[in-house]
Structure 1
Amino acid sequence: MDNAVIKSCLGSWHVRVGRTVDGVMSFEEGWEEFVNHHGLKLGEILIFKHNGKRAFNVVAYEALGSEKRYDSKGKSPSEATASSTSRTSFVCTMKKSHGDPHKAYLTIPARFARSNGIVATSRIILKDPSGRSWPLILSRWESISRGSHRIAIRTNGWYKVYEANKLKNGDVCTFNLKPVSSKSGSKSARVMDVQITCG
């Protein structure tokens, strides 16, 4: 695997590039962070310009075809008018890696983790649309390509959620972190709801 550099109006991202046995290339580690940082939604369009080797310039367009605009803080107009609770949620589109029974994992964006005080020792309970609760195990690793730490939910917690909810490639999961109760101690488990949209 190699790394690609993707440049947009908001900066540069190092994203790992994977290749299937058929030679099809795809963006992997680092891609979710790019998507979340740009506030990309289902139906929006990305136009890539290849600048040689593995460097790309990208421009984002809204679903109706107009170029997506961002303010000085890197937010699109729709995000800028959203309530502050948007800091307590993130979106993830299911890929093959999310449903691998042997090494399934879900990445919690570093920005989301930092702003909500989530660390590797945090206790997270995920509540699915059916109201079932799933304890999740967090582990932290250092991304060599980015030189920063990111948080991941590993197999023994996440795959059970994936299987029980019959998730598949292309499904979109929105994760919402619930407010901490004033009665609960600092070591209490954080609760995160998940909403599922079929892809």
Structure 2
Amino acid sequence: MGSDMRMIVGVSGATGVEMSYYLVRALKDMGNCEIHLILSEGAKVTWDLESSVPLEELTELADFIYDEKDLVAAVSSGSFVTDGMVILPCSMKTLAGISVGYAENLLIRAADVCLKEGRKVVLVPREMPFGKIHIENLKKASDLGCVIVPPVLTFYNNPRTLEDQIHHIIGKILLQFGISYEHFVPWTGVPKE
């Protein structure tokens, strides 16, 4: 690899797509991470509905961009070595495909490849409340080796803005790969008086 790290970032059509911009920007800011971005068609639609950040600002940060229909892309093969994958946000449809190995698109195929090769896959599921099928699929994905990082609100670090909450989520995701994130405020215990 030309870089110290090679990461796949998948963006499904669930709500919360703009969080992926923060993740990709954090990886880019590392200066040593090759970023492979997979955008679903649903992600593009949701992006237009939810984000004030132009989609081009996300895609310009990536080193490689793939269409979800491109099942012969480099990231579709286990012989293409990566450090793992994050799907942010992860729709329930994508979760279902991963949990049963139904790799109908590149997003799910790349996750399937990472799992079969023993590489880390972090799913950031966006749904509330979780239905029984969702919970069953989350358990299946976890049993298969996925790390489930739901974008849960934080309070212990005194967040003041939505961006503070997003920074917390991105920090928790990056910790899964041993990457520190300058905007993440970890718990340090209760101060002694």
TM range (shorter): under 0.3
Q: Answer with 1 or 2: which has the greater Rg.
A: 1
TM-score (normalizing by structure 1): 0.25
Give the helix-richer structure, 1 or 2. Answer: 2
User: When you count strand as a share of all residues, which structure comes out higher?
Assistant: 1
* Higher RCO (CA < 8 A, seq sep 6+): 2
